[in-house]
Structure 1
C-alpha cells in the first residue's frame, strides 16, 4: 500500500507540473510527449494522474502519523541526556572479583595484598 501511495504521489506531482506549464506557458507537456491531448496514450496518462489524485486525497484525512513525527516526539529527540558523561568511573575491582570478601574489603577501606 505504501508503494502504491508513492507511485500515486509521483503521478500527482507530474500532473501538477503539467498544469503549472499549461497555466504559465500554455504548453501541455504530457500531450506533446504522447502525441497530443486526444491521443489514447495521453488520455491514459491523464486518467492515471486523476486516479492518483483520488488516492492522494486520502492522505489529507489520514490520521496515521507514522510517516510524520509528532511535535512532542521531535522535541524529545533534541533533549539528549548527558547524565553518563559526568558519572563516576565504575569500580573495576568489583567487576573482576565479584566475591563478597572483595566487596566488603573495598567498603571498609581495607585492602588485601592483591589490591596493592
Structure 2
C-alpha cells in the first residue's frame, strides 16, 4: 500500500507543478510534451485527477496514526 501511496503522491505533485506553471507562466507542460488534449495527455490528466481523489484518504490515515 505504501508503494501505491508514493506513486500517486508523485502524480499529484506533477499535477501541482503543472498547475503552477499554468498559473505563473501560462505554460502547460503536459500539453507541451504530449500534445494539446491528445489521448495521451487526457490519460495523464485523468490519472492525476484520480490520484488527487485517492490522496484525500491520506487525511484519514494520518489522523488515525
Output the TM-score relative to the length of structure 1. Answer: 0.53
| Runs of 5+ unmatched residues, structure 2 | none
CA distance, structure 1, for counterparts of residue 25 and residue 59 of structure 2: 30
Distance in 2 (CA, whole Å) between partners of 1:17 and 1:53 is: 13
Shift of 1:64: 3.7
Bigger helix fraction: 2
Find the residue that maps to 1:61 and give its secondary structure.
helix
In 1, the alpha carbon distance for the partners of 2:28 and 2:9 equals 20
Which residue in 2 is equivalent to 1:54?
53
**Deviation, structure 1 residue 23:** 0.4
Which is greater in Rg? 1
Q: Is 2:22 aligned against 1:22?
A: yes
The runs of 4+ residues in structure 1 deviating greater than 3 Å are none
Please tell me the root mean square deviation across aligned C-alpha atoms, in Å: 0.9
TM-score, normalised with respect to structure 2: 0.91
Alignment of 1:1-116 (within 5 A): 1-36=1-36, 38-62=37-61, 63-65=63-65
